[in-house]
Amino acid sequence: MHQITRRSLLAGGASLGVLAPQLSLAQTAPAIHVLMDPNCGCCDAWVRILQVEGFEVTTETRFGTLLIRHKLDNGIPQAMISCHTGEVDGYFIEGHVPPADIRRLLSERPDAVGLAVPGMPHGSPGMGPAENREAYGVFLIRRDGSTEIFARYEAA
């Protein structure tokens, strides 16, 4: 029979204290699948930011017209297109959308295609330092193709 000693109890408690935040993060980390051009450095930077923010990220490479076709076929209007597309819990995330906005989308669950940051605004996640950010908006893409501002980031 195994006897529980004070030392084993303290060691077990210390281990749990170290692992608990990681276990909590693993249970709440949204899984996001990102389609991107394999030669895109800013796409890699955005993926790393998502990972640091606790997202479980998988990637898939698509080239040129195959990537564009995927975006258009899934309801992303041409005016909203950027360099990469994420898929998370039934939503599409187009471009350099901040992780906080993705979490808000998943929390609020609007009837929408997803979010987009069209183009590649300087200072958006993966596009250079936020302290030199140009103003940009994060758009909610409705199922009818219309868009509205979901979040706005002022120039820094």
Q: What is the mean pLDDT of each run of 10 residues along the chain (156 residues)?
A: 51 47 55 93 95 96 92 96 96 98 98 97 95 96 97 96
The predicted pLDDT at position 4 comes to 55
| Residue 38 DSSP class | T
Does the reported pTM lie above 0.75?
yes
The predicted pLDDT at position 40 comes to 87
Residue 45 gets the label, from left (phi > 0), alpha (psi -120 to 50) or beta, of: alpha
The predicted pLDDT at position 124 comes to 97
The predicted pLDDT at position 119 comes to 92
**Can you give the C-alpha Rg of the chain in angstroms?**
19
Write out the two tokens for 92.
């599409």
Q: Is the dihedral of CA 28, 33, 71, 46 positive or negative?
A: positive
The predicted pLDDT at position 27 comes to 47
Which of these, 112, 86, 81, lies nearest to 99 by C-alpha position?
86
